[in-house]
Structure 1
Amino acid sequence: MAITTCIFDAYGTLFDVAAAAREAASEPGRDAFAKHWTKVANDWRLKQLQYTWLRAVSSAHADFWEVTQNGLDWALEASGLDGDAELRERLLALYWELTAYPEVPQMLADLKARGMNTAILSNGSPDMLDGAVQSAGVQEFLDDVLSVESVGIFKPADVVYELVTKRFGCARDEVLFVSSNGWDAACATGYGFKTAWVNRANEPVDRMPWTPAVVLSDLTSIPNHAK
């Protein structure tokens, strides 16, 4: 069936999750952090994701902002920076102002020019997602922003992916789901979506029962796959 609806994960897919740490590291007076920022950024993202999975399987849901703070606290402690309260607050503030990857605005504009439904489906809480969308300036290219908070469980629960078909009244095979997380793209494949994994880091394919239909290095060619 032809694709009518193109759905994007947010963090790491449309929005650069390393941007907060990168920006903070470039600021005057942060020489100590500049030596550790890549490790902090990577640890922060990994723990953020791990905590969503653990909360999902243990039925201990908290919103993504709490999980994001927990992940940062772990990452700062792992790099010996947990005593710097000002740095913590600065990193959290910058997380509300993440930049989009360079190809994102034109790619979304191309999809909308074709009459495609477009939306975000994210673990992010609604206020966080609103901040990111506004900061990136892509609100005009999105029909909706769907958050897991409406169902109270993180990806990859089926009930999260079901938000898309309920919102747009489409069949599963009419959806192209795009994520920078291999596990997310794989599980969306299992749900019945056509999928594209944006593998920016050139990582191995996750060992899952399903694999993404398409593997890309960035989002530029997404309109070519939304057919």
Structure 2
Amino acid sequence: MAFGGLVGCSAFASASPTPTISRPPAVPTPTRQVGFVVRVTVPPTLPTAHTLRSTSTPFVPPPHPYILLQPSSGPPVSRFVRLLGGNLPKRVPVDMVWAPKGHKSQLNTVIYTGPRGNIDVSYTVPMSAPGTYSLVAEINGRQVASATYNVASHATLEVSTTVVSNGESLVIRGHHFIPNFKLALVAYQTVGTATPLVLGMAKSSNHGAFVFRTTTRKLTPGQYVLRSWSVSDLAAQMAETFFEVEV
């Protein structure tokens, strides 16, 4: 009986069509936005990174007589440096001759060597123009050793020009000069053989800076080199820059 009941139900279902129910389109469900924060900890030094370290090479005295200056460079001012020497005759006077590289000079200083033929004293580098200089050690008029010293100027110049009714207005700014130095500001044309024009005199401050203003009709249109020359105890070029005068 149970089996026949199941058949009867199936026959009834096949006799009547099944109604189709249309479903409305799905409505999107709003999704909650989720924010998150990621914290990453970076180690001070990665395992595969290579850290470069500068190492100073110790000075190894040569087997022959030598002298050296520490430091071996500086600004164009008179200053004390350390003068070292070795493998020299013991307890003898040594003439230290200061001169531009490749030139002679009469600027001498006498220093005596120690009981081991060594030298370790303070040496006064004279005020010198920028360039490379030699300190030559002479004994009885014969050169036995030499050292090199570089004089460098870190001074800079800036020029701004403006055409005005009565000529060309220039504003010149200087930085990193020797403090309280008198300077001559000279303009040179880059083309031609015109006479250099002295724009004026300036003096650096206690911090080595200055501002110079002038107006002139003597600058013709073209490109110029501006150079600053020291006139205090040392006549030397300290810095230069370029500027242009327009029509």
Q: TM-score range by the shorter chain?
A: under 0.3
Q: Which has the larger radius of gyration?
A: 2
TM-score with structure 2 setting the length = 0.23
TM-score with structure 1 setting the length = 0.24
Choose between structure 1 and 2: higher helix proportion.
1
